[in-house]
Amino acid sequence: VSGDLLFLPSRGKRVLVLGGSGGVGTAAIQMLRAWGAHVVATCSTDATSLVESLGANTVIDYTQPDSHRHIREEGKYDIILDTAGIGSSEGPSYADYLKDWSLSKYITLTSPLLQNVDNHGPVAGMVKNALDLIVPNIRTGLVSGSSSVRWGFFLPTPQSLSEITKLTEQGKITPIVEKVYPFTEIPAAYERVKCGHLRGKIAIKVDNE
């Protein structure tokens, strides 16, 4: 929805996935490739083989000093998907990589929405959210070129789950799991997620006994 791929065809779209080796990134790369998009993904050195195996057209090691040059050379992009927690405040540094006059967008999954409501209350918090979203768009000048900075959220809709199930059954998505923790080690599992730099998802095994 945030990337307009629900309404516009994905085939041929150029998408940059920041953080391609994490839980969301590994799924996003495979889904985008299944839908016909051209995917460029970033990850650290030790994850390049994993991300290549997911079908990314180009994998860029973001730890290398010339990584931004490589990102630019592979662009420009219809969508930049931030799954690495960079956020909308740092998103403007990628503004030049977006296509002009094509409704391109930088989408981050890290937003201050809930934190603003918690800190300022429902009304003031939503006003703060509006400002936090508007300011990056104005500061980058993206709106003048029909581009935008957006926040993305998970929508647990039946259609979404059916699509993921279909792609998995067709072998177009392979769930990547870094480690399975027993139910008794949930705190350790959360701590691992909190540390970041995941290689796929963290799963919890719940015994039926």
Question: What was the pLDDT predicted at 172?
Answer: 93
Other residues' Cβ atoms within 10 Å of the Cβ of residue 32: 25
What does the pLDDT look like over 66-114, one tens digit per residue?
A: 988 999 888 789 999 998 888 766 666 777 888 887 788 888 887 667 7
Q: Residue 95, SS3? A: helix
Other residues' Cβ atoms within 10 Å of the Cβ of residue 39: 27
> CA-to-CA distance for 159 and 165, rounded, in angstroms?
10
Stretches where the chain sits below pLDDT 70 are: 88-92, 111-112, 129, 133, 135-146, 208-209
Question: What was the pLDDT predicted at 137?
Answer: 63
Question: What was the pLDDT predicted at 139?
Answer: 62
> CA-to-CA distance for 193 and 209, rounded, in angstroms?
27
Question: What was the pLDDT predicted at 146?
Answer: 66
Under DSSP, the state recorded for 99 is P
This prediction has a pTM of 0.84
Write the DSSP assignment of 141-169 as a string of letters.
Answer: TGGGGT-EEEE------HHHHHHHHHHHH
Question: What was the pLDDT predicted at 108?
Answer: 86
